[in-house]
Every structure is written in C-alpha cells, then in structure tokens.
Structure 1
C-alpha cells in the first residue's frame, strides 16, 4: 500500500471518528434546541466543533496551515447549512422519530456530511499531495 493510499484510508477513518464524537457525543442542549431558525448560535458552535475536529485530523496528516484553514472554513459553512436544511425541513413537516420521513431526513443529512468528507479528501489529494 502506498503512503498516499494509506493516508487516504487514515483520513477517512479519522473523519469518521471525529464525526461520531462531534455529531453524537459533544452536542450540548444549546446546540440541539431552536435549530429551525437560520442563524442559531448552537448550530454555529456545533459546526465549529466539527471544524476544530477536522483541523486536528488534517494536522495529523501534515496539511499546510493555509490550506487547512480554507478547508475547515468551508466545512464550517457547509455543515452549518446542511444542519439548517434538515432542521428547517423537519420543523416544517413536523417530523418525529416514529415517522419514516424523519429518518429519511436524518439519513440524507448524514449522507451530505459524508460527501463533504469525500470532497475534503479529494481536495487534500489534489492540492496537498
């Protein structure tokens, strides 16, 4: 296995660990309440936790600081808006965990976050290696 392939696998692995902690273990009540409004400080902080975690991941693989800052700023913006879209849709449709559409929204939200990591790894491969 080449260093690049091994590093790509490591990046995806670390992004998954970061995502699990940021999305499920590190959310506070402030981050979880009032998410249907667009500018929500809790959502901004939640996206910041994701960005900080990604910064750690990218530092581990030796990403140049300027590129790292650009990538995590984009991730913050994208994560913030993906979460807003899910919250807005879920509130508008009055979705509850006992409804299939609730889980469709959660699944699509998680899919979009995973595609963000694919794009970040692609950018890292294209501009860093």
Structure 2
C-alpha cells in the first residue's frame, strides 16, 4: 500500500471517530427534541458540532483554511438535511425502536453520512492533499 492510500484511510478513520462522538456522545436534549421542524436550532447546532470536528481533522491533515471553510459549509448543509429527512420520515411513520423501519431509517441516515465522508475524502485528495 502506498503512503498516500494510507493517509486517505487514516483520514476516513479520523472522520469515523469524529462522527461517533458528534452523532452519539455530544448530542444534547435540545438537539434531540422537536427534530421534525425544519428550522430547528438544535439540528443546526448538531450539524455545527460535526463541522467543528471535521475542521479539526482536516487541520491535522494539513488542509488549507479556505478548503476547510468551503467543506464545512457543504458538510453543514448536507448533514442538516440528512438529519431533517430522517426526522421527518420517522415522525410521519411514528417510528419507535421496536419497529424494523426505525432501524432502516437509522441505517439509511448513517449510510448517507458515511457516503458524505467518502465524498469529503475525495475532495481532500482532489483539492487539498499535497
């Protein structure tokens, strides 16, 4: 494996750890309640936590500030809307953890976030990696 491929895999691992903390350990009650409303300050803050975590990861990987800012805005928009879609779907279907569809919605949400990280890693390779 080339050193370059190793850096990409390390970047993806760092984004995974960031995601674990931002999505499962750092959510507050404000971020978790009332999520089916579009203009939800808690969801906006949650997406912001993801952006801050990603910015720290990309700083560690030597990305330029302009790249981090552009990627941060894009990640915020994408994360906000993925979470809104899941919340709205879950609310409309009145889903709860005892239903298979609840876990299908959760899995779809997480898969979309993971695909976002692959796109972000591609952007780093294309525009920021030295």
Same structural fold, with TM-score higher than 0.5 when normalized by the shorter chain: yes
Question: Over the residues paired in the alignment, what is the CA RMSD in angstroms?
Answer: 0.7
Runs of 4+ aligned residues of structure 1 deviating over 6 Å after TM superposition are none
Partner of 1:46: 46
Partner of 2:84: 84
Give 1:37 shift: 0.4
- 1:12-51 alignment runs, 5 A limit: 12-51=12-51
Distance in 2, Cα, partners of 1:4 & 1:122: 13
Normalized against structure 1, the TM-score is what? Answer: 0.98
Partner of 1:64: 64
Unaligned runs of 5+ in 2: none
Distance in 2, Cα, partners of 1:72 & 1:11: 16
Distance in 2, Cα, partners of 1:93 & 1:33: 17
In structure 1, the residue corresponding to 2:125 is in which secondary structure?
Answer: helix
Normalized against structure 2, the TM-score is what? Answer: 0.97
Unaligned runs of 5+ in 1: none
Distance in 1, Cα, partners of 2:72 & 2:109: 18
CA offset digits 1:61-99 (Å, max 9, x no partner): 000110110001100000000000000000000001000
Partner of 2:11: 11
In structure 1, the residue corresponding to 2:34 is in which secondary structure?
Answer: coil
Give 1:6 shift: 1.6
Distance in 1, Cα, partners of 2:114 & 2:44: 19
Distance in 2, Cα, partners of 1:49 & 1:2: 32
